[in-house]
Amino acid sequence: TRYLQRIAAYNPTLNAFVHLDADHVLAQARASDAHRAAHGARPLEGLPVAVKDIFCTQDGPTRCCSKILEGFEAPYDAHVITRLKEAGAVLVGKTNMDEFAMGSSTETSAFGICRNPWDVERIPGGSSGGSASAVAAALAPAALGTDTGGSIRQPAALCGIVGLKPTYGRVSRRGIIAFASSLDQAGPMTRTVRDAAMLTAAISGHDSGDATSVANPPVVDWLGACDKMDMKGLKIGRPKEYFVDGMDAGVRAEVEAALKKCEELGAEIIDISLPHTEYAVAAYYVIAPSEASANLSRYDGVRFGHRCEAPEDLLDMYTRSRDEGFGSEVKRRILTGAFALSSGYYDAYYLKAQQVRTLIQQDFIKAFEQVDVIATPTSPITAFKLGEKTDDPLTMYLSDIFTIALNLAGLPGLSQPCGMVDGLPVGLQWIAPAWREDLLLSTAAAYE
């Protein structure tokens, strides 16, 4: 009830939630109480969790903050939603996001912009901006987001909370509306590292309904990792490509100070290089739109959501439904992707980008021969003003410059708060080898 009151008071300003059914939330809470009384508490018993509008939920609408999914009701729950319910969580509605998770500011949502609780004239980051804003403003204690190129970690950083992107394949993507299938991964957005561990424990695990969910992933002792709060002897890599001119000097100073603190806690800071970092954004903006153009071809006006009025023929229905349903950023991605995949261009763009992706993966493999974890800023800047970058997609794309390489390599990453610049939070990003979320959690818990 306390959270519902806070949502009623603050959501009209923040617009973090795009759907909320208070009666349904209370009914779930009562059912959780009854379960506790009859059978004892499950791992997340009674915990309110807000979920991004990208997750299919049987209760209420699932629209990915797009007009094209108007009226769509998901016939099943996403695997992670089922897992949350089984763990006893109470689902508190759907959070705002960039349309189809394409963006870094939550300004492309079909349901209006979302605001950053630290300064309501600024963006909360994106694309999981609603989840970040909700947790930062204590409208919910925890939320789920998805991260294709930074969409959990960047808004977590800009809103001063913890965000974790698990190793690709750790969490099932079934029932998560696909953006770029080889990059998408769901994860928690919380106030503490421990909460992130508990949520990841609940949502991860093999799902035979998603061929990319890994069957026997290395086991992690999620909470045990958080109790190992010792940094002594930990080798932390500091990649020179992530501390560059052009990034905000205040952000850089806060992250450098955080690394000093780690040194005081007994860690060793080692300068490393990830030489192909400079190609990550370019490779991502070929690969992600290519996959998106294929994934979004299913919105044809027939199977889901919006259909135009009085079509003349089949082609008119397809084109007009899509024209009316998709926003301009989504159209830009579809066009870019379809172009990159078209015959004659495939080798020059898509194939090249995949080759660059392999080089980026190899950079990380080499680096992890030298160090245990890598530390970087999550975002080169703090939360910017609403509208500041909406006319300039290129600078918008660059706000993910420090988060994208990890998705291309499939690695796990965690962002945690590490200071403030002019009253705005700064995020510290930890990167670990594949399947070593335990290292992320123990390091972040020790820093926290």
Position 166 contacts ligand GLN (CB under 6 A): no
The reply to whether 148 sits near ligand GLN by the rule CB under 6 A is: yes
- Distance (Å, whole) CA 430 – CA 437: 10
Beta bridge partners of 51: 94, 144
Smaller CB separation from ligand GLN, 236 or 404:
404
Q: Which residues contact 43 (CB under 8 A, 6 or more apart)?
A: 87, 88, 198, 201, 202
Interface residue with ligand GLN among 102, 135, 142, 334 (CB under 6 A) is: 102
C-beta of 103 vs 377, nearer to ligand GLN: 103
Eight-class DSSP state of 220 = -
> What is the number of other CB atoms lying within 10 angstroms of the CB of residue 60?
16
Let me know: does 61 contact 82? Beta carbons within 8 Å.
no
Active site residue 165: no
- Nearer of residues 202 and 288 to ligand GLN, judged by Cβ: 288
CA distance 360 to 347: 19
Instruction: Please state the φ and ψ torsions of residue 153, each to the nearest 5 degrees.
Output: -70, -40
Q: Which is nearer to ligand GLN, 179 or 430 (CB)?
A: 179
Which candidate in 66, 104, 127, 133 is catalytic? 127
Q: Is 343 an active-site residue? A: no
- Rounded CA-CA distance 181/291 in Å is 7
Nearer to ligand GLN among residue 130 and residue 237 (C-beta): 130
Shortest CB 445 distance to ligand GLN, Å: 25
Distance in Å, CB of 356 to ligand GLN, minimum: 17
383-408 burial, b at 16+ Cβ within 10 Å, e below that, comes to: bbebeebbeeeeebbbbbbbbbbbbb
32, 52, 109, 128: the active-site residue: 52
Biggest alpha carbon–alpha carbon distance for the chain: 71
Could you tell me how many residues of this chain bind ligand GLN (CB under 6 A)? Answer: 13
The amino acid occupying position 335 is L
Cβ-Cβ contacts under 8 Å for 422 (sequence gap 6 or more) = 250, 382
For ligand GLN, which stretch binds (CB under 6 A), given 76-84, 86-94, 98-106, 204-212?
98-106
| CA distances from residue 195 to 44, 85, 91, 364 in whole angstroms, order as listed | 10, 17, 16, 27
x/- track of binding to ligand GLN for residues 284-303 (CB under 6 A): ----x---------------
Residue selected from 88, 149, 305, 337 as contacting ligand GLN according to rule CB under 6 A:
149
CA dist 364 and 318 (Å) reads: 43
DSSP letter at 176 equals: B
Query: Taking CB positions, which residue lies at the least distance from ligand GLN?
Result: 151
Check 32, 66, 151, 213 and give the catalytic one: 151
Distance CA 391, CA 202 (A): 40
Separation of alpha carbons 396 and 150, rounded Å: 12
By CB under 6 A, name the one of 150, 155, 160, 239 that touches ligand GLN.
150
Give residues 116-145 in contact with ligand GLN (rule: CB under 6 A).
Answer: 127
Q: How far is the CB of 330 from ligand GLN (least distance, A)?
A: 10
Which is nearest to 352 in space by CA: 289, 303, 415, 279?
A: 279
Out of 93, 103, 124, 417, which residue is the one contacting ligand GLN (CB under 6 A)? 103
Per CB under 6 A, which of residues 170..229 are in contact with ligand GLN? 179
User: Among 28, 104, 416, 443, which residue sits at the site for ligand GLN (rule: CB under 6 A)?
Assistant: 104
Q: What is the dihedral of CA 431, 435, 440, 443, to 10 degrees?
A: -110
- Residue 354: which H helix or E strand, with range? helix 352-367
Nearer Cβ to ligand GLN (291/438): 291
Active site residue 181: no
The one among 101, 189, 406, 446 contacting ligand GLN by CB under 6 A:
101
Residues 394-413 within binding reach of ligand GLN (CB under 6 A): 400
Catalytic amino acids?
52, 127, 151
Q: What residue ranges bind ligand GLN (CB under 6 A)?
A: 101-104, 127, 147-151, 179, 288, 400
